[in-house]
Structure 1
Amino acid sequence: MTDTTERAGELADLAARFPKLHAPQRWAWGGIDAQFSAELPPDELITNIHVVGFTEGRVVLCRDARGHWFLPGGTREAAESVESCLVRELREEAGARLAGPPTWIGAHRAVTDHPVPYRPWQPHPEKAWLWGWAEVVVDSAPTNPDDGEQVVEVRAMTPDEARHLLVRGRDAWWGELLTLAVESHRTR
């Protein structure tokens, strides 16, 4: 079996195991049609980076002032590298720092029907949200910049607790994304 055939089989297996995560999605808030794949996008398409942060086997979640629980991450700034964005977003939203290199598990490839990009430097109309996991250390309060989410709580919890909070009031693909990250984390 060739490497290409083997990789196609791995991708098909992941899609079968996580059907909600891999299903086409419409993100009305951004006029976006998105679809997840474990195949990583080219760097120039990545506009957003999010990570499942693990600390002592627990998952780090952030809660904003509206009561919304989320994974740390966010929008890439102009000329910012993926790793610099991740470092900045972890500090801003979770008061955390990387304790090891990130492992990228996939991305939502997306196309927006908005006439202009969200930020002038972003690719348009195609873009990608990169998802991964990393070992982190929560060692300060979130910096909460004025132009970002205002985080009121950061909590490390079991994967089951995190799954419950991420899925509550949202599409079920969030739970599958977390499960994929936990499985990837366990095998590394």
Structure 2
Amino acid sequence: MTDTTDRTGERADLAARFPYLHAPQRWAWGGIDAQFSVELPPDELITNIHVVGFTEGRVVLCRDARGHWFLPGGTREADESVESCLVRELREEAGARLTGGPVWIGAHRAVTDSAEPYRPWQPHPVKAWLWGWAEVVVDSAPTNPDDGEQVVEVRAVTPQEAQHLLVRGREAWWGELISLALESHARQG
């Protein structure tokens, strides 16, 4: 069996085990059609980065002023590297820092209906949201810059509670994303 056949089989297995995550998505809030894949996109398409932050076996979640729970991460700035964006977003939203390198587990490749890019330097209309996990420590309060989400709470919860909080009122794929991160984390640990 060739390496390509192995990767194709692995992707098919993951899609079968995580059907909601791999199903086509419509993100109405941004006029975006998205499709998840474990195949990582080229750097120039990545506009957003998010991680499942693990700390002592728990998952770091942020809650904004509207009451929504989310994984730390956000939009890349002009000429910002993926890792620099991750470091900045962890500090801004979770008051956290990396204690090990990130492990990228997949991405949503997205196409927007918008006539213009979200930020002038971003690719348009095709872009990608990168998902991964990393070991982190929460050692300060979120910096909450004026142009970002206003985080009112950061909490390290069990993976099951993270799944519950992220899925509540949202699509089921959030829970499967946590499961995929847990599997990858277990393989690395």
Separation in 2, partners of 1:59, 1:130: 18
- Say whether residues 1:23 and 2:23 are aligned partners: yes
Gaps of 5+ in 2: none
Aligned CA RMSD, in angstroms, stands at 0.4
Partner-residue secondary structure (3-state), 1:154: strand
Q: Deviations over 1:12-40 (max 9, x none)?
A: 11000000000001111111100000000
Match of 2:174 in 1: 174
- Say whether residues 1:131 and 2:131 are aligned partners: yes
Superposed counterparts of 1:143-162, under 5 Å? 143-162=143-162
Question: What TM-score results when the alignment is normalised by the length of structure 1?
Answer: 0.99
Q: Deviations over 1:89-125 (max 9, x none)?
A: 0000000000000000000000011110000000000
| AA of the residue aligned to 2:89 | E
Q: Deviations over 1:55-81 (max 9, x none)?
A: 000000000111100000000000000
Q: How many residues align?
A: 188
> Could you tell me how far 1:176 is from its partner in structure 2?
0.4
Match of 1:66 in 2: 66
Gaps of 5+ in 1: none
Separation in 2, partners of 1:122, 1:131: 18
Partner-residue secondary structure (3-state), 2:85: helix
Match of 2:100 in 1: 100
Separation in 1, partners of 2:23, 2:147: 31
> Could you tell me how far 1:183 is from its partner in structure 2?
1.0
Separation in 1, partners of 2:126, 2:154: 32
Partner-residue secondary structure (3-state), 2:135: strand
Match of 1:141 in 2: 141
Separation in 1, partners of 2:65, 2:94: 14
Question: What TM-score results when the alignment is normalised by the length of structure 2?
Answer: 0.99
Match of 1:48 in 2: 48
> Could you tell me how far 1:45 is from its partner in structure 2?
0.2
